[in-house]
Amino acid sequence: MNSANGVGLDSTVVAVQDQISADLADEVAILSLKSGVYYGLNPVGASIWKLIQQPTTVGRIRDALLEVYDVDPERCLQDLLNLLQRMEAHKLVELCDDSTA
């Protein structure tokens, strides 16, 4: 399943270097060094953030979430793609579609 912009299970995602993040209990706060804006992630978002500190595929992130959370796999993937695309729009992550490589 791919989104309209070509991001799917084989796409690679990684947190950008121009940010600082801090764990706050089960949540994460991220400061974009380029924009100076703070972003907050809930516990699920925090789990994703931890997984993308090194380049990984969307499929691996989805599989890790499915091991922890009781959620429909399609819903999990759609919510994950939506979050990653929002994070990319705010320049917090880099996404690349490896299926074309």
Note the pLDDT tens digit of each residue in 1-32.
444 457 889 999 999 999 999 999 899 999 99
Q: pLDDT tens for residues 36-73?
A: 999 999 999 999 999 999 999 999 999 999 999 999 99
What single string gives the DSSP state of each residue in the chain? ---TTS--TT-EEEE-SSEEEEEETTEEEEEETTT--EEEE-HHHHHHHHHTTS-EEHHHHHHHHHHHS---HHHHHHHHHHHHHHHHHTTSEEEE-GGG-
Looking at CATH, the fold of the domain delimited by 12-90 is given as: Outer Surface Protein A; domain 3 (3.90.930)
Model pTM score: 0.86
